[in-house]
């Protein structure tokens, strides 16, 4: 078994055990979030020895050249010595400029970065509560349109980061964030292509950015957004989206209510069912799915059977982050599994948001 040396201590790594799992099993706390090699929260550096190429998948060339790797994706083949990243590696400092309620459970957190953040609308960043606690949140803002970064953050029961944001964080506070990552964003290479976007809860965040980005780039195909929740009160940005649909003839907004009380102007039923019932033939369409994992998985299958190519389906399930304890890590559910959405196959992402 290969040996992993960290902080002067060595640990034997079992077969099919990642560096992150090995460290956690021995009671060593390593920053982590998605456990799927996407959010890059578990970034570490090999100070001696080498790591498999798969452990550096998705990293910038400059990070890979410095022997940084993702602990959750690293299954060592030989002895290595590892360390946490140098202070500030892969991080940016940001200042809170606003915390604005969107509904009873979701706020829009606005951030201004000290250094310019390069991102695409719909990607996500990691937000650090402290050196060991981070969660991933999708960007609702659009470069060139919004002055500040915007994140829609749902208050998760017992969520380490979301509760801190809702209850403790204040305007003027300084926090650390990561660079942006993720494949859930608009590309303008096919402006005639029809777009279908389906979201639940704060899964609206990346979709809101993608829609505004596409419209700003002059997208000519039909853009249809279906946003669902159990009650009208749990939806948000409805007026802004209705106004946007009035300004752009090719954008159609359909708010969906799955509960019993469905007022006029809202579609009754589960959001994926409504969207696929109204759009039964998705041949040639591009599809974006964001929010509750069960909805995302169901809608992904329905979209494929409706004719959408798998490479054109971008699914972003928001799952709950695993909860750490002294003995190790036990999944609390999975980046927002039990909630409506705080997180793309064609492109598949998943980020922990609690």
Give the Å distances, CA to CA, from 231 to 62, 73, 161, 240, 268: 47, 39, 25, 18, 10
pLDDT score, position 328? 34
- Please return the burial class of 300, using the count of CB atoms within 10 Å of its CB with bins 0-12, 13-18 and 19+: buried
pLDDT score for 28: 93
Burial code (b: 16+ CB inside 10 Å, e: under 16) for 137-171 equals: bbbbbbbeeeebbbbbbbbbeebbbbebbbeebee
DSSP-assigned letter for residue 156:
-
CATH 2.40.30.10 correct for 91-178? yes
CB-CB contact of 82 with 76 (8 Å):
no
Residues of the chain under the 50 pLDDT cut: 324-348
Query: For residue 131, what pLDDT is reported?
Result: 80
Supply the pLDDT for residue 86. 62
Domain ranges in the chain are: 3-83, 91-178, 195-352
Task: Pick 195-352's CATH classification: 3.40.50.800, 3.40.50.80, 3.30.360.10, 3.40.50.2300.
Answer: 3.40.50.80
Residue 343 has a pLDDT of 29
CATH T-level topology, domain 3-83: Ubiquitin-like (UB roll) (3.10.20)
203-218 burial by CB neighbour count: b if 16+ within 10 A, else e?
Answer: bbbbbbbbbbbbbeee
Phi, psi of 203, deg, nearest 5? -65, -10
pLDDT value of residue 323: 52
pLDDT at 321: 61
């Amino acid at each position: 078994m290969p040996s992993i040396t960290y902080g002067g201590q060595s640990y034997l790594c079992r077969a099919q055990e990642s560096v992150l799992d090995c460290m956690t099993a021995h009671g060593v706390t390593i920053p982590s979030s998605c456990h799927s090699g996407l959010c890059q929260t578990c970034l570490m550096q090999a100070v001696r020895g080498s790591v498999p190429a798969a452990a550096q998948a998705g990293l910038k060339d400059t990070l890979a050249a410095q022997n940084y790797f993702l602990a959750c994706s690293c299954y060592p083949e030989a002895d290595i010595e590892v360390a946490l990243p140098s202070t500030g590696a892969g991080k940016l400092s940001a200042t809170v400029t606003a915390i604005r309620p969107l509904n009873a459970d979701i706020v829009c957190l606005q951030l201004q970065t000290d250094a310019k953040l390069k991102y695409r609308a719909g990607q996500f960043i990691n937000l650090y509560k402290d050196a060991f606690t981070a969660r991933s949140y999708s960007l609702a803002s659009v470069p060139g349109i919004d002055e500040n970064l915007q994140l829609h953050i749902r208050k998760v029961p017992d969520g380490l980061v979301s509760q801190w944001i809702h209850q403790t964080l204040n305007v003027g506070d300084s926090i650390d964030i990561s660079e942006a990552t993720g494949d859930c964003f608009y590309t303008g290479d096919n402006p005639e292509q029809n777009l279908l976007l389906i979201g639940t809860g704060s899964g609206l965040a990346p979709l809101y950015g993608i829609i505004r980005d596409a419209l700003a780039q002059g997208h000519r195909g039909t853009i249809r957004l279906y946003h669902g929740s159990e009650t009208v009160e749990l939806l948000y940005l409805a007026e802004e989206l209705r106004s946007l649909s009035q300004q752009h003839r090719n954008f159609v907004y359909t708010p969906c209510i799955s509960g019993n009380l469905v007022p006029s102007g809202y579609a009754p039923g589960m959001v994926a069912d409504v969207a696929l019932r109204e759009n039964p033939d998705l041949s040639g369409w591009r599809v974006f799915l964001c929010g509750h994992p069960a909805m995302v998985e169901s809608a992904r299958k329905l979209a494929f059977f409706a004719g959408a190519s798998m490479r054109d389906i971008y699914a972003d399930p928001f799952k709950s982050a695993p909860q750490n304890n002294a003995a190790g890590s036990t999944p609390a559910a999975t980046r927002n599994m039990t909630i409506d959405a705080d997180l793309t196959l064609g492109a598949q992402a998943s980020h922990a948001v609690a």
